């Protein structure tokens, strides 16, 4: 009886691990797409609206979904305070602290940090160029992430169950 309960638990756990990995793989391209949308919004605010950066970031935060919105909102909050942060410091802090709550990886973080070191300190054309460059890099990452998703998502789902079944068989 106890053996049966154990087997069921192992099967359940294995399935869950598999599904979770698959969900991470599915979330990455989605969030990359959202990040690209956010940067496009920022591009519009800077290029056409001439909106000051803190306000532009807040407006960007309003149009993107949960984990990413926090990144932009925190970056905007940081420069509004009286701590005398430069924009770059505030941006880096917000990105590094919030990154773990997203499904994104270190390569994207590097892209965003590079972008942050240029935002707000040059003229419009230069700003747009940097945002455009970041968008291109994110697009490449997104393509790779979609590739990974189509290749590994189903595999992880079945792999979880199968490994759990293997463990159960070995135990019995």
Partner 1 sequence: MLDRVVHLLPPELKAVLERLPESSMEHLEEIRIREGRPLELGIRGQSRFAASDGTLRAGSDGAYKPTADICRKLLEKITNHSLYAMEEELKRGFITVAGGHRIGLAGRTILDGGNVRGIRDIGGFNIRIAREVVGSARNLLPKLLDKNRKTIHSTLILAPPQQGKTTIVRDIARSISYGHWGMFENAAGWSGRKVAIVDERSEIAACVRGIPTFDVGPRTDIMDACPKAEGMMMLLRSMSPEVVIVDEIGRPEDAEAIQEASHAGISVIATAHAYDLHDARGRPVLRQLLDDGTFTYVVELKRTAEGFMHRVVAADMKDKLPAAAREPTAAAKGEPERVAQTYSGFQRGDVP
Alpha-carbon distances of 132 from 31, 97, 127, rounded to whole Å: 18, 25, 9
Assign 42 to helix, strand or coil: helix
Q: Figure out which of the listed residues 1, 5, 81, 83 binds partner 1, where binding follows CB under 8 A.
A: 83
Q: Which stretch binds partner 1 (CB under 8 A): 9-17, 22-30, 75-83, 137-145?
A: 75-83
Instruction: Decide if residue 127 touches partner 1 (CB under 8 A).
Output: yes
Q: Provide the minimum distance between the beta carbon of 59 and partner 1 in the complex, in angstroms, as a whole number.
A: 13
Distance CA 73, CA 128 (A): 21
Length of the chain: 172
Instruction: Decide if residue 54 touches partner 1 (CB under 8 A).
Output: yes
Q: Provide the minimum distance between the beta carbon of 144 and partner 1 in the complex, in angstroms, as a whole number.
A: 31
Site string for partner 1, 19-38 (x = CB under 8 A): --------------------
* # binding residues, partner 1 (CB under 8 A): 21
Q: Which stretch binds partner 1 (CB under 8 A): 27-35, 43-51, 58-66, 148-156?
A: 43-51
Contact criterion met (CB below 8 Å) for 88 and 116: yes
Assign 118 to helix, strand or coil: coil
Distance CA 92, CA 102 (A): 15
Contact criterion met (CB below 8 Å) for 154 and 131: no
Q: Which residues of this protein are in contact with partner 1, per CB under 8 A?
A: 46, 50-54, 56, 79, 82-84, 86-87, 119-124, 126-127
């Amino acid at each position: 009886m106890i053996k049966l309960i154990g087997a069921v638990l192992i099967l359940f756990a294995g399935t869950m691990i598999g599904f979770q990995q698959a969900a991470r793989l599915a979330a990455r391209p989605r969030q990359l797409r959202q990040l690209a949308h956010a940067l496009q919004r920022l591009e519009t605010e800077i290029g056409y609206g001439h909106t000051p950066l803190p306000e532009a970031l807040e407006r960007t935060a309003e149009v993107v979904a949960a984990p990413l919105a926090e990144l932009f909102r925190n970056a905007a909050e940081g420069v509004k305070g009286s701590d005398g942060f430069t924009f770059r410091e505030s941006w880096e802090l917000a990105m590094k602290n919030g990154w773990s709550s997203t499904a994104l990886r270190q390569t994207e973080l590097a892209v965003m940090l590079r972008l942050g070191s240029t935002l707000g300190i040059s003229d419009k054309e230069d700003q747009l160029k940097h945002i455009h460059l970041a968008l291109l890099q994110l697009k490449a990452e997104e393509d790779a992430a979609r590739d990974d998703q189509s290749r590994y998502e189903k595999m992880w789902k079945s792999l979880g169950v199968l490994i759990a079944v293997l463990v159960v068989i070995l135990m019995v």
